[in-house]
Structure 1
């Protein structure tokens, strides 16, 4: 049988002109619509979302009142009013202040904050886009409107005098273009210990990390609660790391001290992340115990760390921090939301 074809100009389901064709001299111009270009955006960003990981919604910086500040913003927003509408790119270059409702007479209200496309060709009467606060009138959080992405919630209760950061919940996610990326603006990190730590026996202890290799979104501090990496975005993270145990007692022999390492979230051990073994080192040397790598879900503000435990009958043990090739460490990689 001869080769069979279905040409785009002969089938209504096929878009006539793939991007990007250019006619040769003498042929008619090949025209592309805005929808054609929005299809390109949709192809590059399968899921709509924010493009700048530093984006945030906060209380009014000039003094808290019933309004919120929305930081500089870049996002991909999927059109949902018509079939195959495609995705739009929106940009705000500075802080925008958005008014909120005042406190209700009783109870509390939770309002939804979104970024919404205005496209008269698809629906409505305007061209452009807007930050929009959808008011909770007493029936709960309003539904997500068409042609928009979710950014946050603002909770306001009776008697409240203003909107503070504690009343704002960030609900936005990154567009898929960022998911799984290393470095740049992605939420990833690599941390290590530079000062040996004294660990009591029979006690799970958070391992301090004073050194950083990379931390583009500043989820970790080298001076305060240094064991913790705080998630800057909600999503799935690959977490892994190890505890380097240091033996000082001259009577210690290999295979006599149970040692363990695990991953912790918000102070609790993660299921199936514990790895336990017996020490393999002589006095003055190191036994490295790797926690089992885990993919975990972290909400914004959750923290993850490496935890260690030993059962040395003599007493406390130290961790090894002097040797760069085998010191305690933690790595965190964002996989997507």
Structure 2
């Protein structure tokens, strides 16, 4: 039951009879949507080179869950595009290969622009794989709006992402309300 619209409850007026159509509009449709809201989890399974000193959106070439078809593993694969308007909880993570130089960061983007207050930065740990997660944010998306996770590093050269079993770039998006 993918791509259900946000249900609109039937308007009730005095003198209406409780019919099957009214029950379907007011109860069944709402229940069906709430049991199957838009949900996306995408991860990166192939390393990606990132430029030092620049924000780089991360490719997500593996879809774990996409209940409304808002992501493609091949076309614009850094994005989750909202199919249903509403409030969404969004969180991302970026992981890098072992490197002890510089700073690492992650932030969320909405329609290609940074979402204020989502950047997290830290100093790289000595010689170990490193990951940086964004805070969970509630973002209003219209149908067609898209979100991405971007990484930043200052190792002094190109640095590839890490795609281990426990640390890999990822994006989580979940519908939270109308």
Which category of TM-score, normalised to the shorter sequence, fits these structures?
0.7 to 0.9
Indicate the structure whose relative CO is greater, using CA pairs within 8 Å and at least 6 residues apart. 2
Q: Distance in 2 between matches of 1:320 and 1:232?
A: 30
Q: Which residue in 1 is equivalent to 2:41?
A: 190
Q: What does 1:1-337 correspond to in 2, within 5 Å?
A: 54=3, 77-82=9-14, 88-89=22-23, 175=30, 178-179=33-34, 181=35, 185-247=36-98, 252-253=99-100, 256-282=101-127, 285-313=128-156, 315-321=157-163, 323-337=164-178
How far does residue 77 in structure 1 lie from its aligned partner after superposition? 4.2
1:239·1:330 contact (CA, 8 Å) conserved in 2?
A: yes
How big is each residue's C-alpha offset from its partner over 1:151-205, in whole Å with a ceiling of 9 and x where there is no partner?
Answer: xxxxxxxxxxxxxxxxxxxxxxx837634x5xxx321011100110011112111
Q: Which residue in 2 is equivalent to 1:97?
A: none
1:176·1:336 contact (CA, 8 Å) conserved in 2?
A: no
2:4·2:33 contact (CA, 8 Å) conserved in 1?
A: no
Structure 1 pair 85–280 and aligned structure 2 pair: CA distance change class (3 A): farther
2:94·2:133 contact (CA, 8 Å) conserved in 1?
A: yes
How far does residue 85 in structure 1 lie from its aligned partner after superposition? 7.3
Structure 1 pair 211–90 and aligned structure 2 pair: CA distance change class (3 A): same
How far does residue 329 in structure 1 lie from its aligned partner after superposition? 0.8
Q: Distance in 2 between matches of 1:205 and 1:83?
A: 59
TM-score normalised over the length of structure 1: 0.47
Q: Distance in 2 between matches of 1:84 and 1:270?
A: 47
* Structure 1: runs of 5 or more not aligned: 1-51, 57-74, 92-173
Q: Which residue in 2 is equivalent to 1:14?
A: none
* Structure 2: runs of 5 or more not aligned: none
1:201·1:310 contact (CA, 8 Å) conserved in 2?
A: yes
Give the RMSD, CA atoms, in angstroms: 2.6
Q: Distance in 2 between matches of 1:83 and 1:298?
A: 38
1:79·1:85 contact (CA, 8 Å) conserved in 2?
A: no
Q: Distance in 2 between matches of 1:336 and 1:177?
A: 14
| Structure 1 runs (4+) greater than 6 angstroms displaced | 83-87
Task: Give 1 or 2 for the bigger CA radius of gyration.
Answer: 1
1:281·1:287 contact (CA, 8 Å) conserved in 2?
A: no
Number of residue-to-residue matches in the alignment: 173
1:231·1:303 contact (CA, 8 Å) conserved in 2?
A: yes
